[in-house]
Structure 1
Amino acid sequence: MAAQFSEENIQELKFRLEDAAIKCSERCLYQSAKWAAEMLDSIVPIANYDTDPDSPMDIPEAPRIPENPYLRTQDPVEAALEAQESHKYLLAKSYFDTREYDRCAAIFLPPAIPPVPLPTASPNATKSRQSLTPQKGKSKNSNAKDPGGPRNPYPRISQKSLFLALYAKYLAGEKRKDEETEMVLGPADGGTTVNRELPDLARGLEGWFVQQEEKGLDERSSGWLEYLYGVILLKGRNEDEAKKWLIRSVHLNPFHWGAWQELNDLLGSTEDLKQVEAHLPENIMTLIFHVYCSQELYQATDDTYQGLSELDSIFPTSSFLKTQRALLFYHSKDFESASEIFTEILILSPHRLDSLDHYSNILYVMGNRPQLAFIAQIATATDKFRPETCCVVGNYYSLKSEHEKAVMYFRRALTLDRNFLSAWILMGHEYVEMKNTHAAIESYRRAVDLNRKDCRAWYGLGQAYEVLDMSFYALFYYQRAAALRPYDPKMWQAVGTCYAEMDRVEQSIKALKRALVAGAYYADDTSQTGSGLGRKILDPETLHQIASLYERIGEEEEAATYMELTLQQESGQVPVEEEEVSSDNEDDQDGNDTQRSSRRARKSASFNQHEEEEVTWHGTGVTATTSKARLWLARWSLRNGDLERADQLAGELCQDGVEVEEAKALMRDVRARREDDE
């Protein structure tokens, strides 16, 4: 796509982003306006500006900046209405900016609730009015004129003014909802409190769209009201309709980033993304949306990186795109690369707090306490009342094992923004550390309600239920996490452990073999081969667990094979091809799994014997797990009459310093067996 962008395309892109930033700001969609302005700034050539402040500027010779053709309203009827309402609009926007949402809406819309409650004729009248409360607005007018369908309850005003008024009513309802829930995870914070403005807003907008369609005016729509209707439907759990209206909104107004973000919230898998992409417009915003959704769905694929590189050629200094690349590295567990990118962003824009909570998560995993303390100080100095700042400070206290203080800061973040996903998840982690399992479960549930794509919340729920010895529930949540991140070995290890606790050994073995494939990595060996390629290292813990499960069901040959593989991870000398390991993940319908494993063990032994002196491979070294495998193999060899192998393994155990007494006892048994044979 980058190759198709000429200078004319770049100029048009600037015009469209400038138009989006201004119009989003006029409609008080400040986050979308900020995004468009930042993307615009990342493509403006520096050569257009005079960088020397002392040089004289000759105004007549200054380059003429072309006029933006998108800034003016295209529809003459809408332009006339906006001109008539300009003074009222300024007043309404000033009320909005001072957070007087009801007052803002009242400028253009008549109040829906009378200021003084009407007197009732009888006690039954009160009961009937309360039961009709969710359907206010429909009972008064629709019965008289249009009993069969929705009608437009709004006066004839411009779409710009109508959007501002309805958006103010929506935010007023959200504000009242937060006030009713009071403290985070308090008695009233059960997730049952709703925005009471939603039914009236949905009904009114539906009537407005029906009237526009009947009059043939739907083509004049600019996409803003479609976006608001989609948000309202999404809040009301009507996801299919919300998806339809948001797609319509991005067709009409493709450079409004807020609509793309809401559409992303409706996608739960890569299949959903493919279905939606078939209905999206073909422009650069669809490519940005694809990269953003792929990152949210943990798809760190070549296709995602290629799209990101194409966008980098158009927006070379975009902090948003740099953040997406850093998060892709983070999901791939390349914490060093992710940390370097976030450090670069912090150097270029030290007061930027967006996504700083993700950076603190990376530093937390790396155990980089000094750097985490540094960014906590920067964030606090910039704005201590931002949810991102509270999460950074909470992570710092969590790394210091001060979990009560960490919970306090995560609660503060949620007090500032109830929909801040990271705070719910991190607070759940802290409650797990504090052994408050029920509070952890509630925190993770709230995170899942906000974003079903975040595997951390599903995995946390699995951990919490596993602590409560409820393996069936834990298995369900672990499976959801594994479905979101199928290449994360930790997810499949958790699934396998749950199966083992439920005595479903064969399914446990299959899950652990998937973890084995997902967790395999290549150790670099540039010193010997010069090619940067290495041999595959397998997780010894998972191998030992699989071997123990095979022993549990009486298949000692398979157990011995995996014990051998566990032992061979010490030196990394495992000539196992990816296809062979992957084949263990399939159902063993032909009964040849044992033969494959035995053949693999023989190949490993042959490799160790002939190539040990030629190549030095990287391995795990002696660990407690490999020593357990060595002890098991020594006993197994003794039982099967392989006295030489048993004596060799027992001698190695004595050198390792692990299970020394057991090793000495084995050596005595070997000597006694040899004497009996002689």
Structure 2
Amino acid sequence: MLTRAAELLNSLPSADDAGSVTDGDSPMSDAPPPRTPNPVPKDAAEQRLEARETHKYLLAKTYFDCREFDRCAAIFLPSHLPKGSIYTTSPAAPKSKQKGKAKLGTPTKPNIVGDSIQGLSQKALFLALYARLIAGEKRMNEDSKMLLGPEDGGVTANRELPGICAILEEWFNGLAASGRQSQGWLEYMYGMVLVKSKNEKLAMDYFIRSVHQYTYNWGAWQELISLLGTVEELAQMVPRLPQNIMTFIFHVTASQELYQSSEQVHGSLSQIQSIFPTSAFLKAQRALLHYHTKEFEEAEQIFSQILISEPHRLDNLDNYSNILYVMGMRSKLAFLAQLTSMTDKFRPETCCVIGNYFSLKSEHEKAVVYFRRALILDRTFLSAWTLMGHEYVEMKNTHAAIDSYRRAVDVNRKDYRAWYGLGQTYEVLEMHSYALFYHQRAAALRPYDPKLWMAVGLCFGKIGKITNGIRAYKRALIAGSYYDGGIGSSFGSGDVSNLGGGVLDPEVLYQIALLYERMRDMQECAAYMELVLAQEEGPEYDESILGSEDGGGGGVGVTPTTSKARLWLARWEYGRGMYQKAMELANELCQDGVEVEDAKALVRDIRARIEKDKDEGRL
């Protein structure tokens, strides 16, 4: 949180005019730096509490910085238990004489003394509760034991959550009576507890209250982003937020997380960069926008510039390594792995970069080792879960891949790669109904990705829903035209003329044709096979369609898909007695060099049939 604010402060442009430069002997050189105004002025009671706790707070903060979280929390919230809970017990309480057996380890309602809670400043209470939360998370990870083991995931819980929740409820209940003004930090703390307790709607309300009280807490904004699932939810939330530059940055970052790489988002990001022109965080957001739209060259250039200006910045380098992996830049990826390893070996980003490097070398076992190491360091690190799932797929370990992908979507429901990976894995297991569900979730997150709609169409075809499969493949054509800059249109059932646009994907057209063949609609099937062949040369457009004088551009040329379509058309023309057309298609197929044997056999059959018809006097 502090590093992000400091980075934005440092990226503000400096004044270049000579009048702003002060001399070393000038009295202005001794002037104190300007103070940043506090958005929420502290009341007198809060100031008195903080002044009284100064020395204890410094001691607790020192323990926190040394990662001694239990000692830090015990400064302000002493506990009689050696570990595990902040519940207080009365030493003089008599033993219970109740009959029956009590369940071992069942937490009881904490006994909280209200005066001791209200006697703490908000700053001290937040530090103590936050330390207790981190200590609970640490013990939860220790109790989970092996990664992807039987106790990993949602089986073990943070035992500190009930106690923290009870203390915060007690504090908020006494807030109105005490007349104190909230600073927003305890709302942020309560929101985090509610998220971990799966009460996301109430958590969102508290995070919004927190950013209204203290708008520069980037941690609260990040939690709000993680709770958003759709663009519609983002639009509904914006009116409830304070209107300032932090909301502006939040909107751009949330749009990037939701894969909304529109001109409007790029324009908003440009406006923010005009205020913070050298911010590496904002540059990385721009690179991620290009990354989501598969503009890998632009994204790679931006990340490369960030790496040159800040070589020890590890944030988002896992995404950069993904880009280098997709582009096949092995030497750059090796350099990045070496650089991150020299900077900090024990960062999840470093482990992901090295894992991607080994994956590019097809050393999948070593890649899994590094992805697991990243997750040992941080079990909520999304990239490592998804990438480890990919590696398990390569190693044919489908069950481990499914577990990895499921953990990825538990961490972030907006990760379409994990949903798509789950669909692919279930396809390998030939469980197409399950695969369809996960592919549909991925396509809903990325409605303009043709690969995802092709997967949906394939699954519909496998389970026998032919009409739905055709619709999905047509959506893939629309998505392809969106990425390629073509002219997308809505397709009516059977209206081939509406398929105008750029060069379409022959494979998608071929799959649509096969589905029409399964429906016994041979006319539509033949029409789509003709469209497949038309993609070899590229469509002929006039200037009124494209708005330019360049024409439609080149086609895809001869491919195995177009050759299969040509063979199908040749057989279809032969079957309905159009021998001359069938002979032309078969001869073209012989020249293509694909399906040559089938084409030669078809030519022989056509010639034999022509000779027979001549003998019978039909021709």
Same fold (TM over 0.5): yes
Residues 151-230 of structure 1 mapped to structure 2, 5 A cutoff: 154-217=117-180, 220-230=181-191
TM-score by length of 2: 0.90
Residues 406-445 of structure 1 mapped to structure 2, 5 A cutoff: 406-445=367-406
The CA distance in 1 between the partners of 2:63 and 2:551, in whole Å, is 74
SS of structure 2 residue aligned to 1:195: coil
SS of structure 2 residue aligned to 1:154: helix
Counterpart for residue 69 of structure 2: 101
Counterpart for residue 27 of structure 2: 60
Residues 1:61 and 1:161: Cα distance change in structure 2 (over 3 Å): closer
The CA distance in 1 between the partners of 2:586 and 2:199, in whole Å, is 66
Are the counterparts in 2 of residues 346 and 352 from structure 1 also a CA contact under 8 Å? Answer: yes
Residues 1:235 and 1:126: Cα distance change in structure 2 (over 3 Å): farther
Residues 1:487 and 1:154: Cα distance change in structure 2 (over 3 Å): same
Give the alignment partner of residue 547 of structure 1, picking from 513, 525, 533: 513
**Structure 1, 239-248 or 39-48: larger mean CA deviation:** 39-48
Given residue 74 of structure 2, which amino acid in structure 1 is its aligned partner?
A
Counterpart for residue 35 of structure 1: 4
Following superposition, the deviation at residue 571 of structure 1 comes to: 1.6
Residues 184-583 of structure 1 mapped to structure 2, 5 A cutoff: 184-217=147-180, 220-520=181-481, 536-573=502-539, 575=541
Residues 1:372 and 1:152: Cα distance change in structure 2 (over 3 Å): farther
The CA distance in 2 between the partners of 1:436 and 1:428, in whole Å, is 9
Q: Which runs of 4+ in 1 moved over 6 A?
A: 48-52, 114-120, 122-126, 522-525, 576-579
Deviation by residue 1:3-30 (Cα, 9 ceiling, x = unmatched): xxxxxxxxxxxxxxxxxxxxxxxxxxxx
SS of structure 1 residue aligned to 2:537: coil
SS of structure 2 residue aligned to 1:419: coil
Residues 626-665 of structure 1 mapped to structure 2, 5 A cutoff: 626-665=562-601
Given residue 640 of structure 1, which amino acid in structure 2 is its aligned partner?
R
The CA distance in 1 between the partners of 2:521 and 2:418, in whole Å, is 37
Percent of pairs with identical residues: 59
The CA distance in 1 between the partners of 2:115 and 2:48, in whole Å, is 21
Residues 1:137 and 1:577: Cα distance change in structure 2 (over 3 Å): farther
Following superposition, the deviation at residue 368 of structure 1 comes to: 1.3
Residues 1:578 and 1:380: Cα distance change in structure 2 (over 3 Å): farther
Are the counterparts in 1 of residues 540 and 551 from structure 2 also a CA contact under 8 Å? Answer: no
TM-score by length of 1: 0.82
Are the counterparts in 1 of residues 145 and 152 from structure 2 also a CA contact under 8 Å? Answer: yes
Following superposition, the deviation at residue 295 of structure 1 comes to: 0.5
Given residue 4 of structure 2, which amino acid in structure 1 is its aligned partner?
W
Residues 1:425 and 1:492: Cα distance change in structure 2 (over 3 Å): same
SS of structure 2 residue aligned to 1:135: coil
Give the alignment partner of residue 128 of structure 1, picking from 90, 96, 102: 102
The CA distance in 2 between the partners of 1:667 and 1:340, in whole Å, is 53
Counterpart for residue 593 of structure 1: none
Residues 553-632 of structure 1 mapped to structure 2, 5 A cutoff: 553-573=519-539, 575=541, 617-632=553-568
Following superposition, the deviation at residue 113 of structure 1 comes to: 2.5
Are the counterparts in 2 of residues 441 and 464 from structure 1 also a CA contact under 8 Å? Answer: yes
Given residue 68 of structure 2, which amino acid in structure 1 is its aligned partner?
E
Deviation by residue 1:283-319 (Cα, 9 ceiling, x = unmatched): 1111111100110000111221111111111111111
The CA distance in 1 between the partners of 2:153 and 2:225, in whole Å, is 26
Deviation by residue 1:545-564 (Cα, 9 ceiling, x = unmatched): 11011111101111111111
The CA distance in 1 between the partners of 2:44 and 2:179, in whole Å, is 16
Given residue 598 of structure 2, which amino acid in structure 1 is its aligned partner?
E
The CA distance in 1 between the partners of 2:20 and 2:303, in whole Å, is 28
Residues 1:275 and 1:95: Cα distance change in structure 2 (over 3 Å): same
Residues 1:356 and 1:126: Cα distance change in structure 2 (over 3 Å): farther
Given residue 430 of structure 1, which amino acid in structure 2 is its aligned partner?
E
Deviation by residue 1:601-622 (Cα, 9 ceiling, x = unmatched): xxxxxxxxxxxxx968312111
The CA distance in 2 between the partners of 1:60 and 1:389, in whole Å, is 47
Are the counterparts in 2 of residues 535 and 572 from structure 1 also a CA contact under 8 Å? Answer: no
Residues 1:457 and 1:157: Cα distance change in structure 2 (over 3 Å): same
Following superposition, the deviation at residue 67 of structure 1 comes to: 2.7
User: What CA RMSD, in Å, does the superposition of the two structures yield over aligned residues?
Assistant: 2.8
Are the counterparts in 2 of residues 536 and 574 from structure 1 also a CA contact under 8 Å? Answer: no
Following superposition, the deviation at residue 402 of structure 1 comes to: 0.5
Following superposition, the deviation at residue 651 of structure 1 comes to: 1.3
Counterpart for residue 113 of structure 1: 81
Residues 1:357 and 1:48: Cα distance change in structure 2 (over 3 Å): farther
**Structure 1, 179-188 or 461-470: larger mean CA deviation:** 179-188
Are the counterparts in 1 of residues 13 and 277 from structure 2 also a CA contact under 8 Å? Answer: no
Residues 1:251 and 1:521: Cα distance change in structure 2 (over 3 Å): closer
Following superposition, the deviation at residue 480 of structure 1 comes to: 0.6
Are the counterparts in 1 of residues 118 and 171 from structure 2 also a CA contact under 8 Å? Answer: no
Give the alignment partner of residue 81 of structure 1, picking from 18, 42, 49: 49
Instruction: List alignment gaps of at least 5 residues for structure 2.
Output: 487-499
Are the counterparts in 2 of residues 108 and 161 from structure 1 also a CA contact under 8 Å? Answer: yes
Following superposition, the deviation at residue 524 of structure 1 comes to: 9.0
Following superposition, the deviation at residue 186 of structure 1 comes to: 2.5
The CA distance in 1 between the partners of 2:18 and 2:175, in whole Å, is 46
Are the counterparts in 1 of residues 514 and 525 from structure 2 also a CA contact under 8 Å? Answer: yes
The CA distance in 1 between the partners of 2:17 and 2:184, in whole Å, is 33
Are the counterparts in 2 of residues 120 and 126 from structure 1 also a CA contact under 8 Å? Answer: no
Residues 1:669 and 1:50: Cα distance change in structure 2 (over 3 Å): farther
Deviation by residue 1:86-117 (Cα, 9 ceiling, x = unmatched): 11111001111111111111111121537899
Counterpart for residue 24 of structure 1: none
The CA distance in 1 between the partners of 2:319 and 2:14, in whole Å, is 30
Are the counterparts in 2 of residues 535 and 574 from structure 1 also a CA contact under 8 Å? Answer: no
Deviation by residue 1:482-503 (Cα, 9 ceiling, x = unmatched): 1100100111111111111101
SS of structure 1 residue aligned to 2:2: helix
Counterpart for residue 529 of structure 1: none
Residues 1:337 and 1:84: Cα distance change in structure 2 (over 3 Å): same
Are the counterparts in 2 of residues 445 and 457 from structure 1 also a CA contact under 8 Å? Answer: yes
Following superposition, the deviation at residue 74 of structure 1 comes to: 3.2
The CA distance in 2 between the partners of 1:483 and 1:153, in whole Å, is 50
Deviation by residue 1:368-398 (Cα, 9 ceiling, x = unmatched): 1111111111111111111000000000101
Counterpart for residue 45 of structure 1: 14
Instruction: List alignment gaps of at least 5 residues for structure 1.
Output: 1-31, 142-150, 526-533, 580-613
Following superposition, the deviation at residue 120 of structure 1 comes to: 8.9
Are the counterparts in 1 of residues 211 and 221 from structure 2 also a CA contact under 8 Å? Answer: yes
Given residue 539 of structure 1, which amino acid in structure 2 is its aligned partner?
D
